[in-house]
């Protein structure tokens, strides 16, 4: 290995004592490839296994915690005990290759397609449609909110029973937890809505429930992470200033990591913060080493990753690049970083072990992946 990349391959110990072999993580990406009943397919297991041999940790695509939280066609579920054998198959496929396996759990809220949820009824914090959507969600009652909090706990227990090393609570990308934090989607006047602090109530309750389930059921250290999006374009919407306050609170929750959702690692704050600074820089300053931050966003080459890790961010997630080149980590380790592919070869679906539904989504979405026009 070229010595200059050694920082990418230092081991890292999470707050709960679990050691990751290196600083590189597979980012969660929806793959549209599960069975209609929410169980994982062999194609999915093979896809994850193919990418689990070099990274320190794999975070799966999101699993819905209740039937009315299913956000994607071909998404797998964690909403009933019937799903445990399926989840176990996925956890085993990842762990057999040497990576830690983390199940991302979520509820899609107002972003769920009506045809995927019972009775076509979309729910959210308030009856405010997403921008560019014609579907108005129904506001959840307090008791329904409590039920969803419990469902996150139940999904965590299932992840433990299935052999996962942890869960990531998905509070990013406009889904239900973010909908409760956002002033755009949360217009409630009960204890789950109101000012900035009150809009944190639901995500903090989910974290508390997940942690209590881990304490009750996990016999070994178990990772609990939280993913968030730093800003929303809507007005009113989440600003960078809002997120820095939220992250300050999240840093005190005893989590094992925070995971920012970004398309570009180097993107700068849009509003309500120092817009000359990158979001990563502002987040790191606020977190102040209280909890590890996972950085992410358009990192393709070994030098991209080196530049990112040199900012001081302790962990780095790769998404699209690990689809383009599943041997990314191994190539750097073996001194073959010049052989890394950074554009997708659209003739190599089989060699890259990418399920057909995901492959079709990629090749029919120009600009999403380098090399797909």
Instruction: Kindly provide the residue ranges of all beta strands, DSSP E only, lying in 91-140, ordered along the sequence.
Output: 100-106, 123-124, 138-139
The token pair that represents 159 in the structure block? 């992840």
Q: Which of the four pLDDT bands, split at 50, 70 and 90, describes residue 68?
A: very high
The answer to whether 175 is a known catalytic residue is yes
> Strands 24-26 and 57-64, how do they pair?
parallel
Options 47, 48, 64, 175, the catalytic residue? 175
State the CATH architecture for 3-340: Alpha-Beta Barrel (3.20)
Q: In terms of C-beta density within 10 A (0-12 exposed, 13-18 middle, 19 or more buried), how is residue 279 classed?
A: buried
> Strands 123-124 and 24-26, how do they pair?
unpaired
3-state class (DSSP) for residue 250: helix
Size of the chain in residues: 373
Q: What is the average pLDDT across 67-83?
A: 98
pLDDT tens per residue across span 250-307: 999 999 999 999 999 999 999 999 999 999 999 999 999 999 999 999 999 999 999 9
- Sorted by where each begins, the domain ranges of the chain are 3-340
pLDDT tens per residue across span 14-38: 999 999 999 999 999 999 999 999 9
114: which residues sit within 8 A by CB, 6+ positions away? Answer: 120, 121, 122, 135
Alpha helix ranges (H) inside the chain: 42-50, 84-95, 142-162, 176-181, 196-199, 201-217, 240-250, 279-287, 302-309, 320-324, 328-333, 349-352, 356-363
């Amino acid at each position: 290995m070229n010595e200059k990349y050694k920082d990418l391959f230092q081991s890292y110990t999470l707050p709960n004592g679990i050691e990751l072999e290196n600083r590189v993580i597979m980012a969660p990406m929806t793959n549209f490839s599960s069975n209609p009943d929410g169980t994982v397919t062999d194609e999915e297991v093979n896809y994850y296994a193919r990418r689990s041999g070099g990274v320190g940790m794999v975070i799966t695509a999101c699993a819905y915690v209740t039937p009315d939280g299913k956000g994607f066609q071909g998404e797998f579920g964690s909403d009933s005990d019937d799903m445990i054998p399926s989840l176990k198959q996925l956890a085993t496929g990842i762990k057999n290759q040497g990576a830690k396996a983390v199940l991302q759990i979520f509820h899609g809220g107002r972003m769920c397609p009506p045809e995927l949820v019972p009775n076509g009824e979309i729910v959210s914090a308030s009856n405010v449609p997403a921008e560019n959507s014609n579907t108005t969600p129904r506001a959840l009652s307090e008791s329904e909110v409590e039920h969803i909090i419990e469902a996150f706990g139940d999904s965590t227990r299932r992840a433990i029973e299935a052999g996962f090393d942890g869960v990531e609570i998905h509070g990013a990308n406009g889904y239900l937890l973010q909908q409760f934090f956002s002033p755009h989607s949360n217009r409630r006047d009960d204890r789950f809505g109101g000012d900035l602090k009150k809009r944190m109530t639901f995500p903090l309750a989910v974290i508390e429930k997940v942690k209590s389930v881990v304490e009750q059921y996990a016999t070994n250290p178990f990772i609990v992470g939280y993913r968030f999006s730093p800003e929303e374009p809507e007005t009113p919407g989440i600003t960078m200033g809002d997120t820095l306050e939220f992250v300050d609170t999240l840093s005190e929750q005893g989590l094992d990591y925070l995971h920012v959702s970004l398309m570009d690692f180097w993107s700068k704050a849009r509003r309500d913060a120092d817009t000359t600074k990158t979001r990563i820089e502002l987040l790191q300053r606020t977190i102040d080493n209280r909890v590890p931050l996972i950085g992410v966003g358009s990192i393709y080459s070994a030098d991209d990753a080196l530049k990112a890790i040199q900012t001081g961010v302790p962990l780095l997630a790769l998404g699209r690049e690990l689809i383009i080149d599943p041997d990314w980590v191994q190539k750097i380790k073996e001194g073959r970083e010049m052989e890394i592919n950074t554009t997708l070869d659209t003739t190599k679906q089989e060699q890259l072990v990418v399920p057909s539904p995901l492959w079709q989504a990629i090749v029919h979405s120009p600009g999403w992946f380098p090399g797909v026009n």
